[in-house]
Structure 1
Amino acid sequence: MMDLLLPNLVEISLEDCERCQQLPPLGKLRSLKVLIIKGMGALKYIDNNFYGDTESCFPSLKVLKVRETPCLEEWAAVNGRQHFPLLTSFTIHYCPKLVKLPMLCFPSLEVLSICKAPCLEEWAAIDGRQHFPLLTSLTIDDCPKLVKLPMPKSLKRLGVIGTSVSVLKSLMTNVTVVKYVWISEFPELSGGLLQNQKQLKELSIDKISVKPPSNLLDNLSSLKRLFLQRWSQLETLPAGLQNLTCLEDLRVWHCNSLVSLGVNELQCLSSLSSLEINYCQKLRCLSEGVRYLTSLEKMYIEACPKLNSLPQSIQHLSSLRSMQIWHCEKLISLPNKIQHLARLSELKISDCSNLVSLPQSIQHLSSLRSLCIEDCEKLISLPNEIMLSELNILNCSALMSLPQSIQHLSSLRTLSIRGCDKLISLPNEIQHLAMLSELTITGCSALMLLPPGIRSLTALERLTIERCPHLERRCQEEDWPTIAHIPYKRISKEVYHNS
């Protein structure tokens, strides 16, 4: 009767029906495409009534989500019928009492996610048939008792988090075409676990509490992206890393035992283009092995409080275009050899509280376009000459002056000076910045006036001055003729546009 009354219904969401103990015969709805069952606290059984009495159950359903059903214990299946012939996405989330899943085949299923089912023990196969011949994405999260699962043969993406080691081993042995793997929250990782994954492109290993086995990365000849996160016993990069000759992206996050990147481990990473190291509390050095990263284009280092220097071999990073260093309070200086980074176009240094100065050799970085120095409270001077188009000096409270050689920044288009409360003047040589189009000065309380050379900046289109009480007063009164030609001016809260 339901299918006659609601012949065109395509989506149903049953949410927070706390007293509902039985599902209606939704399998009769021939047009139903999306079904969401969520927050049904009294539901203990999904029984035969759910499927209806038709020959084919849920003939059009494509998306099925069962979420937050804390009392669900059993899910029955009815043999002799076709179930979910078009289902492509199936999600089970937070069913803490569910022990078994129904013995059903899903011929069209592509995405399967089973999360927070701590009592789930098995999903038994039916007479050796494949349950999901088209499955490409599988996530199993927080299912510690799960020991049996039908093996999907066409899987491309796999995430296994906080589940039994036996299921992980079984998947890694039987599924050999997977391209993306995420492994997390395991008390052990056996040697040779990934030896069959010759087509693997991306590997993420997260929240592991043991040292890596020596042959963990063997045979991963196609791997391009490797993410190592929250690995508490990782003291140096895993052995075998040097065999990943196709690796392009390496990220190491929250590995608090990591002391060094090692030399041998970096030796053959000639394809690496991106390196990110974040929140590694004991990291002291990158090692001279960085000399081998000749294809590296991006280096990002953040929150490594014991990192005190960069290796001189950084000069060999001939492809490096962007280097960013954040929250490394022990960093005192950059190596002079930085001058050899011929392609470096972006350099950003933020919150490095012990950085006193930048090396003069920066002036030889002919490709440098953007330089940002932020929250470096001990920085007292800048190099005499730099070729760039964007200069940002932010919260460098010890900086007292800009060098007169700023005039040589002939390509400079953007200049931002913020939070430099000891800066007392700008050099009149700023008049030679013929390409400058935007000037921002904020939080420079000791700055008294703008140099008269500002009048010569005919390309200057935007001027912003905020939290500079002396400078704001001067610019709004006696120094107004110096800035009158600028089309857009923001002084304190006042905005002026030239008509």
Structure 2
Amino acid sequence: MTGLVLKNVVEISLESCRCERLPPLGKLTSLKILKISSMDSLKYFNHESYGDGEDSFPALEILNFNVMPSLEKWTIVDREEIFPCLRNLHIEACPKLTEFPFLRTLEILTIWEGSNERLIRSVINVTSLSDLEILGSELKILPDKLFSNFKHLRFLNMSYSYIKTLPESISGLQHLQTLKLNYCEEICKLPKRLKHMRNLTCLDIKGCDSLTSMPANMGQLTCLQRLSIFIVGQDEGYQISELKELNLGGELSIKELENVRNSEDAKRANLKSKLDLISLNLCWSDSNKESIPKNVEEILENL
């Protein structure tokens, strides 16, 4: 398979193959994309796959492991260069795989549901990431130091996960632009120091039904352009006026509007200036109907 006839092959996809080991694909000097899926018997991705040269997978940029129930070990041998160009790694439904080797050029990492918790914890060793997706994780509490090495991270998606909270260390991601937590139904609060993530342009928290309040001083996130939900509070720093200076667009749902006391409060949201909004959902709490003010129409007119 790795003879001269395949020397110009750029992409290979292996699906539902019943073999227990891979041919030395690392010899393919032009290979840029490798996708391996539903190989139920494959246990190891190791030296047998790399070939016997000094350089292995010299051009590989994208590597996908999908639905590999037996894959348990990915080892790196002592060579000068292995995966020198790898920038995109996708791992999905590999329940026995507990770690992956240090990949110095990796920029985009995706770990989908059905993967081992230890694999997720090993992410801390990757320092070059710009994009990280951990989807459908059953981890309820993330390691405190999980994000401590991600100085270049710009995109983080942890949607459909069972996490209850995010570690406060996430607020140290000063270059983060997009944070997605869609349908994390058990998450009950966001980091207190979220206001310090000044480069954040998108905070997507649709379906986070256990979330009861926003972090204080959301209005300090002056780069924010997408905010799917804002929960109005009563105290300073949590009120609807936090929306005033935010140039929001897209979809916005404002909840617990019973905490807007009067028309002056409503005006401070400055919604009329947010011309890029395409969908606006205004919600009062069903459980607190007695506290809904009688001047609802006046408040609506001034929002």
How many residues in Structure 1 have an aligned counterpart in Structure 2?
Answer: 284
Q: What's 1:204 paired with?
A: 180
Q: What's 1:410 paired with?
A: none
Identical pairs, percent = 28
Q: What's 2:16 paired with?
A: 16
The answer on 1:159 being equivalent to 2:133 is yes
Q: Distance in 1 between matches of 2:167 and 2:56?
A: 45
Q: Distance in 2 between matches of 1:196 and 1:168?
A: 15
Contact 1:55 1:82 in 2 (8 A): yes
The answer on 1:150 being equivalent to 2:136 is no
- State the shift of 1:166 in Å: 7.1
Contact 1:63 1:90 in 2 (8 A): yes
- The secondary structure found in structure 2 opposite 1:91 is strand
Ranges in structure 1 where 5+ consecutive residues have no aligned partner? 123-142, 318-499
Contact 1:160 1:182 in 2 (8 A): yes
Contact 2:73 2:98 in 1 (8 A): yes
Contact 2:7 2:30 in 1 (8 A): yes
Q: Distance in 2 between matches of 1:113 and 1:156?
A: 11
Instruction: Output the amino acid matched with 1:114.
Output: I
Change (3 A) 1:174 1:33: closer
Instruction: Output the amino acid matched with 2:146.
Output: L
Q: Distance in 1 between matches of 2:113 and 2:37?
A: 14
Change (3 A) 1:5 1:300: closer
Instruction: Output the amino acid matched with 1:296.
Output: K
The answer on 1:175 being equivalent to 2:150 is yes
Change (3 A) 1:50 1:3: same
- Higher normalized contact order (CA 8 Å, seq sep 6+, divided by chain length): 2
Q: What's 2:197 paired with?
A: 220
Q: Distance in 2 between matches of 1:292 and 1:75?
A: 55
Q: What's 2:298 paired with?
A: 312
Q: What's 2:229 paired with?
A: 252
Q: Distance in 2 between matches of 1:12 and 1:213?
A: 42
Ranges in structure 2 where 5+ consecutive residues have no aligned partner? none
Contact 2:69 2:95 in 1 (8 A): yes
Change (3 A) 1:97 1:158: closer
Aligned partner of 1:119 among 100, 116, 120: 116
Q: What's 2:106 paired with?
A: 109
1:280-315 deviations in Å (ceiling 9; x for gaps): 9x8565835431232322262459595999552455
Q: What's 1:2 paired with?
A: 2
- State the shift of 1:79 in Å: 0.9
Q: What's 1:431 paired with?
A: none
The answer on 1:234 being equivalent to 2:211 is yes
Contact 1:147 1:166 in 2 (8 A): no
Q: What's 2:77 paired with?
A: 78
Q: Which has the higher helix share?
A: 2
Instruction: Output the amino acid matched with 1:221.
Output: R
Q: What's 1:91 paired with?
A: 90
- State the shift of 1:91 in Å: 1.6
1:73-116 deviations in Å (ceiling 9; x for gaps): 22232212421222232222211122332x3x534433222323
1:247-275 deviations in Å (ceiling 9; x for gaps): 3332129xxxx6x5657432243133337
